[in-house]
Structure 1
Amino acid sequence: MVISLVGLCAREVVSDHSTSPCWLRWVPRELYRPLLEAAFTSCRPLAVGELVQRWPDRTLRVGGSRKEGQTAPNRLCIQALLLAVVRGLSDRRCFLQVLDLCGLQGDEGGMGDSMGGWSLTVALCTMVVQARAGAQRAHRREGERERKRFSAMEREKDVKRERGQWKREPKGDEADKKELGGNNKERMGSNGTLNEEELIKGVRRRMEIERRRDNVLTSVGGSRKETEEKDVNSDVLVHVRADLFVNARSWERVRVALSTFGPLKLQCRYLRVEEISVSSIRTLLDLLPRQGLLGIDVRYSSLGVAGLAELLPLLSTFPALKSLRLHYCNLDFRRDHPGQEEALRDLSQGLAKLQELRRLSLTALRLPGQLRVLLSSLPQPLEILELPYLSLSPADFAYLSNSHHASSLQQLDLSENHLDETTLPSVRRLLSQASSCLQHLSLSGCGLTDSLLALLLPSLGGCRALKSLALALNPLSMSGLMDLVRMGVRMPTLRHLLYPNPLEDYQPGLPNLPSSAQLLDWPLDEATEINTTSSQLNKVLMDSGRSGLFLTCDLLNYDKDLVD
């Protein structure tokens, strides 16, 4: 990656924090972005905080898709950013109104010191609550100052009024000598003081002034809790957009932050929930703004068919929802339970209301033979369809190849669904329908042998837009693997190929047709030169001149998203 001259200068400027008072006051607003990027890259949290606290633009976006080799921002820098946003609420030099952190999180427990999705969500919720508490303290201080100022003004008025009254009224001896009218005589006693009636009127007047003053202070300063909350709730200064990751440990904190009204308003683009109940998911969805949510990812939650049918009508109230992902959510249609047809009908009707859905991911939901019921109700064709571990039947493959989704698919994942001679024609028809738009395809663990792959290669080669192909954990020999790579180098758009270890690389004792689980657990033969396979495949790449095609057998670190 080539660094621009501005970027190099920005790194040098933020490298020494002791010089920041010299240059920060004079830096033009156009240089704030490169300086902030340099502070993130060089891990300078103090510089990050100072830049964000006086951010000159209305919008600050940090995160988004990262290029290959680019790591997520450091945890300390993200914490400094969040603290600076709170400080900037009271800084007149800060013009920030929208903070976009979508895509900022790194891998939880990954390499480096990046902040994962769960940690970032907790930090954001803490920031929102702290900002509200700070706003309440500021309102109380302002109310107290206003109360003191108003009291001082009233005391000053009373003093002036009393001084003027005694100055205008003559003393008792002078009144007797000048024989003033009866009106003055009634107001003054024999000793020159106010009579009882006038004293009572004065006390009542003071009480009325005090009552009016309390009412004014209540409306201005917020001495009462309800008025204070009303003032805080109506004063959103910064809208914070982020992807939220919620589980049982963080659910209560997220709920409080979403229901908190104050200077920071938390909005969600993609919501990922794990191991929480249907009622808790409903609570979160009720608290989210209807316009901002683009996708929801539910994992390891025992939704059941009834729970999913309960959530779908609520999901339909989000008009921009484009992605629905359900992973290991305990949906099992293989068991013979009463009311199963009615539950399927409810699911179909619920999916039919998701007008903008473009991505559907169903992992390990055990839906053999039910794909038509679910997908046929979707009003718009899907662009991303992920169906791993679904035990798809030949009828499911046949429906999918003829469905209205086939010609629009850009990403298809059929991993761990067994392919054989009965299902292969449907898969070939499906690839033919999607040949002009399919960009990412995964057929890992599908039981593809050399003979099945030979039948499938012409269809794979016809996918003109394919960028990544995953065929890991398939029982291929070295000969079949070489045929696969020769086909890949002839595809000009293909950039990533995840290939399986050939059967020759495993230790003896492997079955003739091993399953994907056996291939995953069976040890490789240390006596065999493993690098021989890699060198032979790389030789095919060099002979074809395809330096842009990346070959790997590393299943754990393979990431198709790096292609884009």
Structure 2
Amino acid sequence: MVLSLVSLCAKEVVSDHSSSPGWLRWVPRELYRPLLEAAFSSCRPLTVGELVQRWPERTLRIGGRRRQGQTAPNRLCIQALLLAVVRGLSDQRCSLHLLDLSGLQGDEGGMGDPMGGWSLTVALCTMVVQARAGARRTQRKEGDRERKRFSALERETDIKRERGQRKRGMDLSSDDGEMVECSAPTSEEDLIKGVRRRMEIVRKKETVVTALGGSKKESEGQEPETDVLVHVRADLFVNARSWERVRVALSTAGPLKLQCRYLRVEEISVSSIRTLLDLLPPRGLLGIDIRYSSLGVAGLAELLPQLSTFPALNSLRLHYCNLDFRRDHLGQEQALRDLSQGLRHLQELRQLSLTALRLPGQLRVLLSSLPQPLEILELPYLSLSPVDLAYLSTSHHASTLQQLDLSENRLDESIPSIRRLLSEASGSLQHLSLSGCGLTDGLLGLLLPSLGGCWALKSLALALNPLSMTGLVDLVKTAVRMPSLRQLLYPNPLEDYQPGLPDLPSSAQLLDWPLDDSTDISLTSSQLKRVLADGGRSDLFLTCDLLNYDKDLVD
């Protein structure tokens, strides 16, 4: 990545924090963005805080999809940013109205100490609550100051009134020249006027206290009204440890308003998920990811009507949520009908990911009810049957799929359906994963013509399939002829494993079985690279590293 002259100069400027008082007062608003980017890339948290505290624009976006080789922002820089946002609430130079941190979180413990999704969520919620507490302290100080000023004016008025009454009550008509005070009785009309005057004073005092968020409203248990100064948009990661903190932050009225773009929840109940959804504004949520929560079919059917109230929701991901139709339970058929009915109301759904839900034979019931064709469909570990794959190949989703994941589903009896599906999706499919599907040399040979016809395909994953070196070379020769393909995740050939593997090993056996130390594994890589060189494809990346494979790097 070649840096521009502005970026190079910005990195030099932020490298010395002691010089910041000299240039911060004079820097034009057009240079705030490159200076902030340089401060993040150089890990200068103090500079990040100073720039954000006086941010000259209404919007600040940090995050989004990172380019290849670009790391997530450092944890200290993110913490400095959040503190500066709170300080900027009282800084007249700050014009910030929207802070967008969508897509910011990195992997916990990754390179450069990035802030993970859970840590970022907790930090955001803490920032919202602290900003609210700070606003209340400021309101109380202003209220106390105004009450003191009003009391001083009241005392001054009382003193002037008392002096006037004394002056009018003096009688100078005595013969010896002495002043005599008249003690004429107060009339009923004067008493009424005095009561009205005192009531008016009390009413004005209560009005001032109420307007400043003072003790009267607080004593009644009501939250004083606070204007929202900055909207904070982010992806939230909630589990059992952080659920209460997130709930408090979403329900807190203060100068910072937390909004959620993508919600990821882990290990929390259906009722807790529903509580969170009730606190989210209906037009902000784009996707929900539910993991390791024992929803069951009935629980998911209960959630779907609430999800349909979010008009922009386009992504639903369910991972290990205890949906199992292989068990014979009473009421499952009705629950399945409720599930299908609930999916029918998700008008904008374009991505559906279901992992390890055990729904053999039920794919038609789920997918046929969706009103719009899907663009992303992920069905790993789903125990798909030949009936499921036959339906998928002829469904209204087949021709629009851009990303398809059928990993860890046995495909040996469904090769004709997979070929038909690939033919239908050949013009749109960009990412395909068939890892751990039991593809032997013979089965892969039947699929290669259909794979070669997917002219838009950018990434292909075929790890943990029992292929020999011969089948692997045939795969790479086909990949060389696919002009859009940029990444190929291939399996280790059977020749590279230690002796003792079964004739048709499963993906779990291939994952756990040790490689043969006596075999030079680099020979496999060298042979495949020669195939690439012969085909003139220096832009195609080959890897057998399953753990570090990332299909998104080609986008």
Q: Pick the TM interval, shorter chain.
A: over 0.9
Match of 1:404 in 2: 396
Match of 1:553 in 2: 544
Match of 2:330 in 1: 338
1:521 aligns with 2:512: yes
Change (3 A) 1:231 1:196: farther
Match of 2:553 in 1: 562
Q: Is the 8 A contact 2:464 2:492 kept in 1?
A: yes
Residues 301-324 of structure 1: CA distance to partner in whole angstroms, max 9, x if unpaired? 000011001000000000000000
Correspondence 1:217-228 to 2 at 5 A = 217-224=208-215, 226=217
Q: Is the 8 A contact 1:232 1:263 kept in 2?
A: no
Correspondence 1:314-393 to 2 at 5 A = 314-393=306-385
Match of 1:185 in 2: none
Query: Residues of 2 paired with 1:491 and 1:129: CA distance?
Result: 53
Q: Could you say what secondary structure the match of 1:162 adopts?
A: helix
Percent identity over paired residues: 78
Match of 1:26 in 2: 26
2:442 corresponds to which of 446, 451, 461: 451
Q: What is the Cα deviation at residue 164 of structure 1?
A: 4.0
Query: Residues of 2 paired with 1:322 and 1:23: CA distance?
Result: 45
1:285 aligns with 2:285: no
Change (3 A) 1:201 1:399: closer
Residues 33-69 of structure 1: CA distance to partner in whole angstroms, max 9, x if unpaired? 0000000000000000000000000000000000011
Q: Is the 8 A contact 2:404 2:431 kept in 1?
A: yes
Q: What is the Cα deviation at residue 232 of structure 1?
A: 4.9
Q: What is the Cα deviation at residue 223 of structure 1?
A: 2.2
Correspondence 1:31-42 to 2 at 5 A = 31-42=31-42
2:253 corresponds to which of 255, 261, 264: 261
Number of equivalent positions: 551
Q: Could you say what secondary structure the match of 1:174 adopts?
A: coil
Change (3 A) 1:295 1:176: farther
Q: Is the 8 A contact 1:218 1:227 kept in 2?
A: no
Larger deviation: 217-226 or 91-100?
A: 217-226
Larger deviation: 480-489 or 536-545?
A: 536-545
Q: Is the 8 A contact 1:147 1:221 kept in 2?
A: no
Change (3 A) 1:194 1:102: farther
Query: Residues of 1 paired with 2:245 and 2:239: CA distance?
Result: 10
Query: Residues of 2 paired with 1:12 and 1:333: CA distance?
Result: 61
Residues 487-522 of structure 1: CA distance to partner in whole angstroms, max 9, x if unpaired? 111111000100000001101111111000000000
Q: Is the 8 A contact 1:219 1:227 kept in 2?
A: no
1:295 aligns with 2:287: yes
Query: Residues of 1 paired with 2:216 and 2:291: CA distance?
Result: 40
Q: Could you say what secondary structure the match of 1:441 adopts?
A: strand
Correspondence 1:92-491 to 2 at 5 A = 92-167=92-167, 169=168, 171-174=170-173, 191-195=180-184, 197=186, 204=195, 207-208=198-199, 210-224=201-215, 226=217, 232-420=224-412, 422-491=413-482
Q: What is the Cα deviation at residue 224 of structure 1?
A: 2.9
Q: What is the Cα deviation at residue 191 of structure 1?
A: 4.0
Change (3 A) 1:57 1:230: farther
Q: What is the Cα deviation at residue 226 of structure 1?
A: 3.0
Q: Is the 8 A contact 1:232 1:262 kept in 2?
A: no
Match of 1:183 in 2: none
Q: What is the Cα deviation at residue 289 of structure 1?
A: 0.6
Q: Could you say what secondary structure the match of 2:482 adopts?
A: coil
Q: What is the Cα deviation at residue 194 of structure 1?
A: 4.0
Q: Which ranges of structure 1 fall in alignment gaps of 5 or more residues?
A: 179-189
Residues 442-497 of structure 1: CA distance to partner in whole angstroms, max 9, x if unpaired? 00000000000110000000001100000000000001001111111111100010
Change (3 A) 1:177 1:381: farther
Query: Residues of 2 paired with 1:260 and 1:411: CA distance?
Result: 39
Q: Could you say what secondary structure the match of 1:297 adopts?
A: strand
Q: TM-score, normalised by structure 2?
A: 0.96
Residues 386-426 of structure 1: CA distance to partner in whole angstroms, max 9, x if unpaired? 00000100100100000000000000000000011x30000
Q: Is the 8 A contact 2:213 2:225 kept in 1?
A: no
Query: Residues of 2 paired with 1:345 and 1:258: CA distance?
Result: 33
Query: Residues of 2 paired with 1:503 and 1:533: CA distance?
Result: 11
